[in-house]
Structure 1
Amino acid sequence: MTFVTRARSSVFIAAFLAASASFVQAGTNGTAFQMAVAESATSSPAVAEFYRENGFDALWVGDTPEHAARRTALIKALSSTELHGLPGGRYDIQTLISNMQKARTTRDLGLLEAELTLVFIKFASDLQSGSVRPSQIDEGLVRTVERRSATEHLELLTASKGDGYFRELMPQSRQYRALLKQKKVLETLMVQGGWGETVPVTKLERGDSGANVIKLRNRLVAMGFLRPTASPAYDDSLTAAVQSFQTAHGLEPDGVAGNGTITEINRPVSDRLKAVYVALERERWLPEKRGERHILVNQADFSAKIVDEGRVTFETRAVIGKNTHDRRSPEFSDEMEHMVINPSWYVPRSIITKEYLPKLRANPNAVGHIQITDRRGRQVNRGAVDFNQFTARNFPFSMRQPPSKSNALGLVKFMFPNKYNIYLHDTPQKTLFAREVRAFSHGCIRLAQPFEFAYALLARQEEDPKAFFHRVLNTGKETKVNLDKPVPVHLIYRTAYIGPKGEVQYRRDVYDRDRKIWEALQKAGVVLPDVQG
């Protein structure tokens, strides 16, 4: 929390305490209080029902120590919204305090009681589950966010003491806490003027010297990738610093400061801070319970990991969907239920009609490695079909590529059945994993080490998972292998995250989703802190 935020928080709390002492004298008994609560709560049927079922007992404006503690906890929480990157203006804490100061009658207290409850629910939902709706931002954000109902929030608040429930609202993940710390670090850097002078976008490498090398050196020193030095040369230490920066930003760690590397080095602190704000919001969207063992695919990092009890036990490179509107990989969570060894590729309808049908019209023998089948699964004689008579709407056939090493899915696929037809799989196109940006698929996630991924998943149910896998593989037959215990899968997109050793990592916004989320947060009222002056 910045100094400005702390000072504002102290002012709010002092004003609140002064206001709180005066209004509780009016009392909360009687019809006037009940009618005022019911009137003010009409915007939320759940809140109105909660008060009816609880005999209109006050949660906030009573004169007991418990009520006072709850009021204080709420004001403290509302005054800390900037800490979490929430839209503080939507809770209008100053109006709340003003209404407390003005409250004199029983009716005033009823209106205030409902107002405090409605603000509490809005804040609690935002902090726990996010302040913007992902589905309204981008078509690829299909994640279902778990949101507690107003009734649940109120019942849990009533059952807790003091500020206990408020402390439980924010995501309890290590990632969220680490991002909060990085947010504070970046805000401090903004106060101090950032990372200094930018570097002209050109190619710099070992053996170079001069003014541009010095600028590169100074910026990497300010960023913490290089110890302070007076050397004007692009020497071994600067090469190592560039490699460290590249690794921390998902770039090929070749030690050469090319255009891509320098562009990332030149990004201002505010860009990184925005990425952290978005990452905090994204963390609020994720399920509270991720799974003791789960699979985490970070699309922006082009990686797939198996996480056991919070520790990464397997990691491999991944290829994600191509950056076009119909191929970008979506973001959602599901459960992996089985794998298929020696899979067939059942070509999606969209690929059949958009890619293969035009080729078949030109040449019925095109894409000969794919079988064309009728509704009964019987193979169609291509020479007996006039493909020019069909359109995308009336094409009556299916297409299937039988199991083989050249199959589009490779030799194994990992299934978590979903309506988006997304899964993880092998691929014969191994060269793509050497690319820095790996967005080439039709939407599914391709794995660089699919066999090893399978061994890791099977290790909990097979004595010798590798031998079991290859015994099935060597049959050449399409075989479904169920997982004894389904494994949660989380397809995420994180351009700012904290690594397992506490290292800060940034990635490029390959799908432009973070920019859209930041704009949505701004519209909701989120702003970068005013730390100038």
Structure 2
Amino acid sequence: MTHRTFLRGAAVIALLATSTLAPQGAGAVQVTAFHQAVAENVSGDDQIAAFYRERGFEPIWTGGTQADLERRTALIEALSMAGHHGLPASKYNAEAILSRMASVRSAYDRGSLEVALTELYLDFARDLQTGVIDNPRRVRAEIVREIPLRETSYYLDGLMSDTPRAFLGALAPQTPEYARLMGAKLRLENTIAHGGWGVTVPSGKFEPGDTGAGVVALRDRLIAMGYLDRTVTARYDASITEAVRLFQENHGLEVDGIAGGSTLDQINTTPQDRLKSVIVAMERERWINMPGGLGQRHILVNLTDFNARIFDDGKLTFETRSVIGHQERDRQTPEFSDEMDHMVINPSWFVPRSIIVGEYLPKLRNNPGAVSHLEIVDSRGRVVGRNQSFARFTERSFPFSMRQRPGPNNALGSVKFMFPNKYNIYLHDTPAKSLFSHEVRTYSHGCVRLNDPHDFAYALLAAQTSDPEGFFQSRLRSGTETRVNLDNPVPVHLIYRTAFTTAKGHTQFRRDIYGRDAEIWDALSAAGVEIGGVRS
């Protein structure tokens, strides 16, 4: 007997000794080969072991009761639907489990199967509820979201306290968005099975009045994608123009009805790539499958869509354009959720340390009067004079902070919205209004700039004052930096979706501006997620 085998045996004995199967006199339950197998197989997992110990190592899957039958039937049915959820179906392999069930010849084998079914169930349940990727930060460091993982006891106790089908059916996100994404996935799979959207459109630029083979290819592709009714026109007419405009609107492009470079790139994207975006979006929806939902009132910022929205009771009540972090890795806006608890009207801008040493210190070394719109402040809050040389300081040794006082040219504009977090990310106004007219709006150092910050403030304040505009404007006119607490903090969710849906069920797609979805897809594919039955 090896040392490891001895230790394992000791663990099994300890488990059995603390269970209801332990000898307690003449009426004690006999320890069977089944119980022995269960105890051996759960000895490496404390939570599973505790569950079986409390029920005397009796089965929940492999027994002969009606309840056992219902549980294993519900599990097999759920596993067979894994592919519909964009999960790695081969990982759970319902057919292999059925084959193993049929091959059981002894009580010991049945005990081993019992634990294998429990482990399989837990693996599947966690993947379905909170995602295949349990730590997205390992895929991309900027995804700092805390996944709402549940304890093992949640899944085991829940299975035993509810009807199995009901409990398993409620594990996936119960949101309209998740249901609509599943529908989009099914439609794209059907499109792929029937040959896709046809030939791609040749590169170039097509606009109203044009004719030729390129226009015909564009027409046929728009028909195949459902943006254009069947027609034999070979001219870029009003119907094609309107179809292109609708396509542009659904893909976050400039809506001008002209099929130029960026529009053609999106039109020529394959249904397989669109399906990947939808499957990734479903995985991302699982990452925010929180017990209490996103919040009765919440703020949703989809980074790829360059918009910030307020939802009340599931309905969109306010939206505005946004500017987000630049594509450079150290300036990208991270993904996470937090709670907005106050706003600051007429804010000062305290320059982040990374910007001070990365951008402003080199200028100060050359010219102490550089960036004169900013105050240099010591650790006690005193303004430091510029009549000195800063050339002696390095990035590590520079001992000062930098601040821009409130005013019309302040980098934060007239108001900032705070959900205090260790990433120093918040929503705010900006004097650079021209940036909101751009199609791709990645210009900040990571924070989210709003196009209509005053209206955004009014929408938030309407919950706690009868005259939100008057209240806000009176504080603004004072010119004084003023903190205004929100009576009821509002959850803020910074998300990243290249595929999402509207309330009417239309699927929208956006560009993978930070390249995050491509890396998530690679991780999902490595885990066994497939498209069309073929690993991509």
Q: Choose the corresponding residue for 1:351, options 355, 362, 378.
A: 355
The answer to whether the Cα contact below 8 Å between 2:311 and 2:317 also exists between their aligned partners in 1 is yes
Quote how far apart the aligned CAs of 1:531 are: 8.4
Match of 1:290?
294
Structure 2: which 5+ residue stretches go unaligned? 1-28
How far apart in 1 are the matches of 2:235 and 2:88? 46
In the alignment, structure 1 residue 484 sits paired with structure 2 residue 487:
yes
In the alignment, structure 1 residue 248 sits paired with structure 2 residue 236:
no
Match of 1:260?
262
The answer to whether the Cα contact below 8 Å between 2:197 and 2:225 also exists between their aligned partners in 1 is yes
Match of 2:432?
429
How far apart in 1 are the matches of 2:107 and 2:225? 58
The answer to whether the Cα contact below 8 Å between 2:252 and 2:510 also exists between their aligned partners in 1 is yes
Match of 2:342?
338
Quote how far apart the aligned CAs of 1:322 are: 0.2
Q: Choose the corresponding residue for 2:170, options 168, 180, 183.
A: 168
Amino acid at match of 1:347: V
Quote how far apart the aligned CAs of 1:29 are: 6.9
Match of 2:214?
212
How far apart in 2 are the matches of 1:317 and 1:73? 45
- Secondary structure of 2:262's aligned partner: helix
Q: 1:413 to 1:391 in 2, by over 3 A?
A: same
Match of 1:278?
280
Match of 1:108?
109
In the alignment, structure 1 residue 518 sits paired with structure 2 residue 524:
no
How far apart in 2 are the matches of 1:29 and 1:490? 54
How far apart in 1 are the matches of 2:262 and 2:147? 35
Amino acid at match of 2:177: Q
Alignment deviations for residues 178-215 of structure 1 (CA, whole Å, 9 cap, x no partner)? 00011000000001111111100101111111110111
- Secondary structure of 2:331's aligned partner: coil
TM-score (norm 1): 0.93
How far apart in 2 are the matches of 1:73 and 1:529? 25
How far apart in 2 are the matches of 1:426 and 1:38? 61
The answer to whether the Cα contact below 8 Å between 1:82 and 1:529 also exists between their aligned partners in 2 is no
Count of aligned pairs: 504
How far apart in 2 are the matches of 1:206 and 1:41? 69
- Secondary structure of 2:300's aligned partner: strand
Percent pairwise identity: 54
Match of 1:310?
314
Quote how far apart the aligned CAs of 1:491 are: 0.2
Q: 1:459 to 1:330 in 2, by over 3 A?
A: same
Match of 2:180?
178
Q: 1:504 to 1:367 in 2, by over 3 A?
A: same
In the alignment, structure 1 residue 223 sits paired with structure 2 residue 196:
no
Of 52-61 and 437-446, more deviation after overlay is shown by 52-61
Match of 2:403?
400
Quote how far apart the aligned CAs of 1:35 are: 1.8
Quote how far apart the aligned CAs of 1:64 are: 0.9
Match of 2:7?
none
The answer to whether the Cα contact below 8 Å between 1:205 and 1:256 also exists between their aligned partners in 2 is yes
How far apart in 2 are the matches of 1:39 and 1:518? 37
1:152-167 to 2 correspondences below 5 Å: 152-167=154-169
Quote how far apart the aligned CAs of 1:162 are: 3.5
- Secondary structure of 1:382's aligned partner: coil
Q: 1:207 to 1:29 in 2, by over 3 A?
A: farther
The answer to whether the Cα contact below 8 Å between 2:129 and 2:289 also exists between their aligned partners in 1 is no
Alignment deviations for residues 347-376 of structure 1 (CA, whole Å, 9 cap, x no partner)? 000000000000000110000000001110
1:37-48 to 2 correspondences below 5 Å: 37-48=38-49
Alignment deviations for residues 65-94 of structure 1 (CA, whole Å, 9 cap, x no partner)? 111010100001111111101012222333
Match of 2:139?
137
Amino acid at match of 1:59: I
- Secondary structure of 1:244's aligned partner: helix
How far apart in 1 are the matches of 2:506 and 2:187? 13
TM-score (norm 2): 0.93
How far apart in 2 are the matches of 1:239 and 1:415? 43
Q: Choose the corresponding residue for 1:420, options 419, 423, 426.
A: 423
Amino acid at match of 1:423: Y
1:379-390 to 2 correspondences below 5 Å: 379-383=383-387, 385-390=388-393
Match of 2:414?
411
The answer to whether the Cα contact below 8 Å between 2:173 and 2:289 also exists between their aligned partners in 1 is no
Amino acid at match of 2:403: R
Of 33-42 and 89-98, more deviation after overlay is shown by 89-98
How far apart in 2 are the matches of 1:43 and 1:369? 62
Alignment deviations for residues 107-147 of structure 1 (CA, whole Å, 9 cap, x no partner)? 11111110000000000000000001211100111000001
- Cα RMSD after superposing both structures: 1.3
Quote how far apart the aligned CAs of 1:530 are: 2.8
Alignment deviations for residues 500-521 of structure 1 (CA, whole Å, 9 cap, x no partner)? 2211100000000000000000
Match of 1:440?
443
Amino acid at match of 1:254: D
In the alignment, structure 1 residue 52 sits paired with structure 2 residue 53:
yes
How far apart in 1 are the matches of 2:96 and 2:534? 24
1:76-155 to 2 correspondences below 5 Å: 76-132=77-133, 133-155=135-157
How far apart in 1 are the matches of 2:99 and 2:233? 60
- Secondary structure of 2:343's aligned partner: strand
Quote how far apart the aligned CAs of 1:174 are: 0.3
